[in-house]
Structure formats: structure tokens, C-alpha cells
Amino acid sequence: MKKEELLKRLESHQPDILGMPNTREHAVILPVIEKAEDLHILFEVRSQRMSRQPGEVCFPGGKIDSGETPQEAALREMHEEIGIHPDEVSFVRKLGMVTTPFGVKLHVFIGFLPSDLNLTLNPDEVEEVFSVPFTFFKNNPAIDHYIHMHMEPDEKFPTKDIPNGKNYKWQKVHYRENFYYYKNYVIWGLTALIVADFVERFQIR
């Protein structure tokens, strides 16, 4: 390859997460509702009809379809799941991005919903919705638990080619899971991680 050819490719390159070429991209939105006494975060409970994670608490969102931006995907999914049209959502901003050990890249947005919500739940995807006031998260920090993962090379892994061979000291991975307990709801996993980061980053009071 010539230098000119590499420079041309670099000009059109979009920075991304290295080493994750087959990442599945999803997008979610953290919906905020202004109520008389406080701002609230809206959550969904996944339908029992869902094949994956039925009954778990989550944010509106899902897979990014071909040809749409992450923001468009998050708003489309919210419309499909709870009937909020994208035009009804104000001040949509990207909060950041989360990657998981399982090959998922999650784009996270925030958006403000009208106080006079008129929701239409899709029963195939959403069992119910509920909202939690900001003051709850202020007064109840996330409870941390950990999942311990260990690395195990497969049978064909060339251990002879790395320092110390079979005695190589693989790094232990401690994956933190945040938990919130609100009334009868358990908020955990990526949803709780997003909330905990949001509360700390924006000093929710």
C-alpha cells in the first residue's frame, strides 16, 4: 500500500471502538417527565411474551436498523413500544455510549416527554410503565454487586507461543452490576448502570 492510499482511507475513517468489528448496535432513550413535585424518569417493564429478558425493567429502545441513526432508532423504538411520537419528545441529547463484554454497543440518549402523557403500550413488548422521581435516586444510591468472570482459552489456543505458556496469568474480570429497589420494581443491569452514571454525572439533586 502506498502512503497516499492510506491517507485517503484515513480521511473518511470514522473513529470507533477498536477490536469490535461485529458489534451489535442498539439505542435507548432515558425519558424524563416533568411533574408538579419533581422530575421523573420513565421505565418500561418488558412483556412476558418477550423471548429475551421478559419482566425486566428497561428503557425504550432496541436495535438500530439499516439506514437510520442511533437517535432515530431510539425514538422509533419508543414510538413502537409506548406510543410516544418523536415530535412529542423535546431536547433530545446523546448522553454517551456503553459497550458490553457480549458484543453490544449501546447508544444512550435523553429526552423530555410531555407531562400530559397519552401512552399506548404495545403488549407484545411492554407489560407496564412506571416512573421514579429524581429525589429517589438522590436519596438511594445504587447498590453494587459483582459478577466474576474468568478467561479460559479453547483447546486450540497456542499457549506455547505466549510468555509462561499454560501458566500464563490471565486477568480476572470483575463486572459491576448496579441495583435500585423502587417499590416492587428491581432496576438493574445496563438500565441501572445508565441511571447511576446519569445521577453522578449531572449531580442529580
Domain membership of residue 198 as a residue range? 23-202
Separation of alpha carbons 181 and 197, rounded Å: 17
CATH of the domain at 55: 3.90.79.10
Backbone angles phi, psi at 58, to 5 degrees: -155, 175
Separation of alpha carbons 75 and 90, rounded Å: 11
Backbone angles phi, psi at 37, to 5 degrees: -90, -20
pLDDT at 175: 85
Inside any domain, residue 2: no
Segments of 36-116 assigned E as strands: 39-46, 57-58, 61-63, 90-99, 104-113
Inside any domain, residue 6: no
Inside any domain, residue 50: yes
What type of residue is 184?
N
pLDDT at 21: 65
Inside any domain, residue 127: yes
Inside any domain, residue 10: no
Inside any domain, residue 1: no
* 3-class secondary-structure state, position 73: helix
pLDDT at 173: 84
Are 121 and 129 in contact by the 8 Å Cβ rule? The answer is yes
Q: Closest Cα to residue 75, out of 88, 67, 66? A: 88
pLDDT at 62: 96
DSSP secondary structure letter of residue 125? T
What type of residue is 15?
P
Indicate the number of domains in the chain: 1
Q: Tell me how far the alpha carbon of residue 36 is from its chain's centroid.
A: 28
Q: Mean pLDDT, 10 residues at a time, over the chain (205 residues)?
A: 92 81 88 93 95 93 96 98 97 93 90 92 97 96 92 92 92 90 97 96 82
List beta partners, residue 62: 27
Inside any domain, residue 12: no
Are 119 and 84 in contact by the 8 Å Cβ rule? The answer is yes
pTM: 0.88
Inside any domain, residue 91: yes
